[in-house]
Structure 1
Amino acid sequence: MRRKATAPNSNARLLQARRNATEKEAKMPMALLSELLSFTLDNHNGKHITLSTLYLY
């Protein structure tokens, strides 16, 4: 008996999308990245911000 495929390759698609995003981030110039980082830190209403919360933006 064959299993019914609910969402074919959904995991593969998610992994590929994540891989593409990471490659895009890796190609981002370091100067631009640090500029974005300091901008985010400055515009966070004086709250303490960690690297993990940057993923929310």
Structure 2
Amino acid sequence: MMMFTLASLLHSFDWSLPKGEEHDLSQEVGITLKKVKPFVAIPSQRLPNVSLYV
């Protein structure tokens, strides 16, 4: 079910970074690898049929 939800989100929206920001791939070392700066993405409606988003 989780894979279906993720696939629906990826398919239904265009994703972009906030204006003026770049994707930072740096990580900090610990027991697990963790991003130094959290990833932020902004969804925008991709499909013209609005009823899909309700």
Greater RCO, 1 or 2 (C-alpha within 8 Å, sep 6+)? 2
Q: Do Structure 1 and Structure 2 share a fold, with TM-score over 0.5?
A: no
TM-score range, shorter chain: under 0.3
Normalized per residue, the structure richer in helix is 1
Please identify which structure carries the higher strand content. Answer: 2
TM-score, normalising length from structure 1? 0.26
Larger radius of gyration: 1
- Structure 2 length as normaliser, TM-score? 0.27
